[in-house]
Amino acid sequence: MDSKKELPNKSLVLAVFAACIGGTFQYGYNISVINAPTMYVQNFINVTWMQRYQTSISEDLLTLLWSTIVSIFTLGGLIGVSIGGTLSVKLGRRGTLLCSNIFSLLAALLMGLSSSAGSFELLIAGRLLCGLNAGIALCVQPLYLGEIAPTALRGAMGMGTSVFITGGILTGQVMGLKEVLGKEEYWPILLSTTFIPAVLQLLILPWFPESPRYLLIDKGDDEGCKKALRQLHGSADCDAALEDIEKERNNLAGFQAKKPWELFSDRSIRWQLLTIILLNMAQQLNGINAIYFYADYVFRQSGIPADKIPYATVGTGACECITALTCGLLIECLGRKVLITGGYILMSICCVLFTLTLTFQDVSQVFPYLSMACVFAFILSFGLGPGGVTNILTMELFTQTARPAAFMIAGSVNWLSFFFIGLVFPFIVIGLQQYCFLVFLAVCSLVTVYIFLVVPETKNKTFLEIQNEFLTVNKRKSCSAERGQSSYQNPSEMSPSQRLLRRS
């Protein structure tokens, strides 16, 4: 392949930007932007309670209300991801992304009015709607990116999900600085700025086409598919992509989009399903949240003044964002398996080193600085592999009819793991203190072994080739089971995966 073909079409790059700016960018932004006004929002709740009931709110109830405002985002995300796959089949990938901005705009309105209306309930409702938008985006945006990109650039384009999540986190941290919107009187404006990326997507994304795979395989729109491919890939490069999509359509003839529970009963994709469940659990349980939890403590121990810690936190966000960009540049060169395995190996090493440096924190003045180095090294390792490659593998391991349901399952596991670690992590820290990283060491090590033994390299392979390669993992068992049941099976009764297995 020559260098020209390796460069994405300008229209494709703009389509990726349009999908991501109103998609996972908002997810990252709403995760981080809520941290800066913590004290201001708690003061607002206290004043509002006093005005309503002429008594101060108890500290426990204040903590409960604040925790609800923060964590209701997770509940919204879980609801969003559970409906995202279904909406992507009914409305299309692009249509679903555009419609989900309704939740974001309404959330911005509610949170912006909460202070003047004297209602912290509006904050809770707004955060729930932000979560809905984020859940749908995390389910549907990777689908759209993977389906509009040519095979040779699928990994690089798919990294848009991770790049824009980290970009959203970094932007939220910057917006929360006192020099921007971090002062007390500006907190309602700060939380309502989530409308900006939503408006940008509504203005830009309609100029780009629906997913060509969705148009041809799900809707049977041959002309629409060809027109979309010409716009996204260019006239010279669209023929190979069209041939690949037609092959997949022929293999899926007679099959409709599957429901999530149907994937669990399909033995031909059990390894793919097990893989995405484990990888999405590990993405939340690998210790990245613990690193951010300990970051403030490490920065204080290193002698950074309390009023300067927010700037150091911005540094961690910038570190993760730069690493995601680096991963996007390397993924088509090194491959998915090398990056995600290498990332988990480096994270395992960091867990050991961070445990040691925290244990000997008071022994020497050098250990706080070593701990700080471990924080940045862990974030770099996460961004280099697990942070970005997980979503791409979820996209690549399934064919068109199973893909939306797979994202619903993967997203639900991810959000539930996010909720679980947020609920359990404080108790783990209290019980194990710095030794909690030994738990994360076990998670990272086990996932590394699983990826090495089970997950194939997917770089430069079509979806059908990846499906066929996964089938060889369990080919002998499947063949022996089929011999025991019947010597012949009508091809029309086979699943798409079984058809591929017979051909192989």
**Residue 341 confidence (pLDDT):** 96
Q: Which residues of 230-239 are buried (b: 16+ CB within 10 A; e: fewer)?
A: bbbbbeebbe
Q: Which tens digit of pLDDT belongs to each residue from 180-195?
A: 999 999 999 999 999 9
Q: Retrieve residue 475's tokens.
A: 């080919």
Contacts with 469 (C-beta within 8 Å, 6 or more apart), sequence order: 456, 461
How far is Cα of residue 68 from the mean position of the Cα atoms in its chain? 22
Q: Retrieve residue 394's tokens.
A: 């979820």
Residue count of the chain, please give it. Answer: 504
Mean pLDDT in each 10-residue stretch from start to end of the chain (504 residues)? 60 95 94 91 95 92 90 93 94 96 97 95 96 95 93 89 94 94 95 97 97 92 93 84 88 80 89 95 87 78 83 90 90 92 96 91 86 90 90 90 92 90 78 86 96 91 85 58 48 50 46
Q: What's the Cα-to-Cα distance from 362 to each of 266, 290, 296, 351, 366, rounded to whole Å? A: 55, 20, 17, 19, 9
CA–CA distance, 474 with 458 (Å, rounded to integer): 18
Q: Which domains does the chain have, with CATH numbers?
A: 10-208 (1.20.1250.20), 258-480 (1.20.1250.20)
Are 379 and 316 within 8 A, CB to CB?
yes
CA–CA distance, 119 with 35 (Å, rounded to integer): 19
Q: Retrieve residue 210's tokens.
A: 């629906």
**Residue 189 confidence (pLDDT):** 96
**Torsion angles phi and psi, residue 489, rounded to 5:** -135, 130
How far is Cα of residue 485 from the mean position of the Cα atoms in its chain? 41
CA–CA distance, 356 with 371 (Å, rounded to integer): 9
Q: Give DSSP secondary structure letters for 116-135.
A: HHT-THHHHHHHHHHHHHHH
**Residue 478 confidence (pLDDT):** 52
Are 451 and 295 within 8 A, CB to CB?
no
CA–CA distance, 257 with 501 (Å, rounded to integer): 20
**Residue 152 confidence (pLDDT):** 86
CA–CA distance, 286 with 290 (Å, rounded to integer): 9
DSSP3 helix / strand / coil % (the chain, rounded to 5): 80, 0, 20
CA–CA distance, 164 with 153 (Å, rounded to integer): 17
